[in-house]
Amino acid sequence: MPAVIQLPAGKALTVRAAADVFLDSLGNPNTVRNYAIGVGKIAERLGEGRPLVSVADDEIGEALELLWGTSAVNTWNARRASVLSWLGWCGERGYDGPAVPVWAKRLTPPDSETPARSKMAIDRLIARREVHLREKTLWRMLYETTARAEEILGVNIEELDLAGRRAPVRGKGARPRTRRRGAIREDFVLETVYWDAGTARLLPRLLKGRTRGPVFVTHRKPGPGKVVSARDICPDTGLARLSYGQARMLLDEHTALGGGPGTGWDLHEWRHSGLTHLGEGGASLLMLMAKSRHKKPENVRRYFHPSAEAIAEVTSLLAPSDGRR
C-alpha cells in the first residue's frame, strides 16, 4: 500500500504542488519515473505556480497536443494516461481542477504495433506473487473473454452468471446519449461475453461474499469532493469502480519493469492476444467474429490462422467419391 500523503490545507493547491503530491503517492519507482515525465512537462507548460483550479480542461488538451501530438501512438497514450491519473487522483481527494477533455482521446495503436503476448508470458505475469488478486482476475478475464477493457470494468456483480461463466456487457455499439425531460438517458447494446476456468477460479475469491456493486473496485473510498454515480459505488464497502486510467496505470506498473515510458503492456493487448491464440488454435472466422463481437470479417481476419492440418482436412472434401475416378 502506498504511503498516505498529507495534502496542503487552507489554501489552493498549485499545479506544482498537485504534481508533487501525486508522484509522491506512487509506490513503485518505475511508475514514478514513467509518470514524472508526462505530469512534470504538463505542469511546466501550464505554469507551476498557478492554482490548479484555475486551469481549464482545454488547456490540458492543448498542452498534450503541443508536447506529444506528433509522437508515436504509444507515447501519446502513455503521456495522456499519466495526466489522466494525476488529475483523477487530485479530484478524488477533493481538489477541484481540470480534466482531460473528451477531444484529447486515447489513440488505438495500429494493428502492426499491437503485440500478441505468448500464453507463457501471460501465465507468468498473472502468477506473480506481487500482483494483487484484483489485477490477476481482471487480466485473466480480459484474456479469456477477449472483451474490451471498458466493457469488463463496467460489469456489476449482480450481472454475473457465475455458473454459466458469462455476463452481459455494454458493447461498443452503444447509441449516443439522449436527453429526455432534462435528464440524460444512456441506451446501450448489451452483448454477452464468456470466460473459462481461470476466471471462474479467481472471481469468487475476489468477490469475497459481495453480491452487488462493481466487480472491480479501488482500494480506497473516493474523497469528499468526488461525485460518483450510485452504480459506480459498492453499497457495502463504499469503494468506487476501478477506472480505465487506473487499470492502465496498474498494468504499466507491472509490465514496464526496466523500460522507458510507454513500454508496458496496453490493456488492448489482452483482447488482441486472446483472439490471436484462438485463431492459431484453429477457430473459424465465424467463431472468432462471434467471440470478439466484431461486425465486419476484415476486422477479425488478422486473427485467423488456420493450421496446415486444418487446410488439408477441408481440402479433402473436394476429393472424388469412391465410386468415381
Give the number of other Cβ atoms within 10 Å of residue 208's Cβ. Answer: 8
**Angle between the 244-255 and 29-46 helix axes, to the nearest 10 degrees?**
130
Residue with cell 473510498: 221
Q: Tell me if 67 sits within 8 A of 79, measured CB to CB.
A: yes
Residue 6 to residue 102: CA distance in whole angstroms: 31
The candidate with the shortest Cα–Cα distance to 31, out of 247, 254, 243, is 254
For residues 100 and 260, is the Cβ–Cβ distance under 8 A? no
pLDDT of residue 114: 67
How far is 248 from 79, CA to CA, in rounded Å? Answer: 12
481527494: which residue's cell?
93
Length of the chain as a residue count: 325
pLDDT for residue 323: 54
Residue 267, beta-bridge partner list: none
Within 13 A of 273's CA, how many CA atoms are on the CB side? 21
What is the residue type of 21? V
CB 80 within 8 A of CB 69: no
Q: What pLDDT score was predicted for residue 295?
A: 86
Question: pLDDT tens digits, residue range 119-143?
Answer: 999 999 999 999 999 999 999 999 9
Retrieve residue 49's grid coordinates.
Answer: 505556480
pLDDT, tens digit, 9 for 90 and up, residues 176-202? 343 333 333 444 578 999 999 999 999
Burial of 38 (0-12, 13-18, 19+ CB in 10 A): buried
Position 322 scores a pLDDT of 62
Domain boundaries, the chain: 15-107, 112-244
Ramachandran assignment for 262, one of left (phi > 0), alpha (psi -120 to 50 degrees), beta (any other):
left
Angle, CA of 38, 44 and 50, to the nearest 5°: 120
Closest CA relative to residue 241, chosen from 228, 253, 257: 228
In this prediction, the residues of the chain whose per-residue pLDDT falls under 70 are: 1-11, 109-114, 172-188, 225, 259-262, 322-325
pLDDT (0 to 100) of residue 11: 47
